[in-house]
Amino acid sequence: MKLDILVIAAHPDDAELCCSGTILTHIAAGHKVGIVDLTQGELGTRGNAALRMQEADASTKLLGIHARENLGFRDCFFTNDEAHQLKIAAIIRKYQPEIVLTNAVHDRHPDHGKASSLISASCFLAGLRRIETMLDDVSQPAWRPRVVYHFIQDYYIKPDFIVDISTMMEKKLAVIQVFKSQFHDPESVEPATVLSSPDFMERIRARAREYGKVGDVEYGEGFTVERMIGVRDLFDLI
């Protein structure tokens, strides 16, 4: 299946937390969107790998995305090396996205910046025809996404552009809360984390409102670019 947008992220729930409004907005506009999670988030303080996979399945249904895979890389210990690059290159060639969305270029969790670099490199390598990858024992043709954009996570980063998610803000919050193991539950006996604080969802809304203000909309999601964006028509910037 060819996708228009492929989100590749370090952990299950990264995509939901950071760009699910963008995902929902583009699906509503008729685009095909998929998610690839690098790890199962098995080293997270709360929950476990099996539960995270169940939550990811539930989120997939609520988002209405067209494909989702988990590459099973080691949480916190995957590296930006040839083996990992080739696996991601094969995924990129499989889905042939025009746009890749991925982790923040730097963040509190080291996996986020590490994934950002790994995925950027893999997108480039996927376009080199002399690098061979296989799918179902068949050699894959080279494919390079037109652009790679990085969403913004825990650390504040000044965005290069804003996506208007105003019509999808409430559904974005509903999608995030599907990952129940990670967020506030007064009956949970697991250790508290930044994500499980009672006001965390309000922080998500506040960040979206902040980016919305910058973008002159009610709610927004911010992204950074690897190269300058070019347009053919000045009215595309309005």
Q: For residue 234, what pLDDT is reported?
A: 85
User: Would you tell me how many other CB atoms lie within 10 Å of the CB of residue 219?
Assistant: 24
Positive or negative: CA dihedral 118, 32, 228, 155: negative
DSSP H or E stretch at residue 211: helix 200-214
* Each residue's pLDDT tens digit, 127-161: 999 999 999 999 999 999 999 999 999 999 999 99
Q: For residue 137, what pLDDT is reported?
A: 92
3-state secondary structure of 6: strand
Assigned token pair, 91: 């995924």
Tell me the whole-structure pTM to 2 decimals. Answer: 0.96
Q: For residue 219, what pLDDT is reported?
A: 98
Q: For residue 161, what pLDDT is reported?
A: 95
Rounded Cα gap, residues 169 and 172, in angstroms: 5
3-state secondary structure of 16: helix
* Ordered domains of the chain (ranges, CATH): 5-237 (3.40.50.10320)
Q: For residue 41, what pLDDT is reported?
A: 96
* Each residue's pLDDT tens digit, 37-55: 999 999 999 999 999 999 9
Q: For residue 235, what pLDDT is reported?
A: 86
Q: For residue 123, what pLDDT is reported?
A: 98
Q: Would you say 90 and 69 are in contact if contact means Cβ atoms under 8 Å apart?
A: no
The residues of the chain scoring below 50 in pLDDT are none
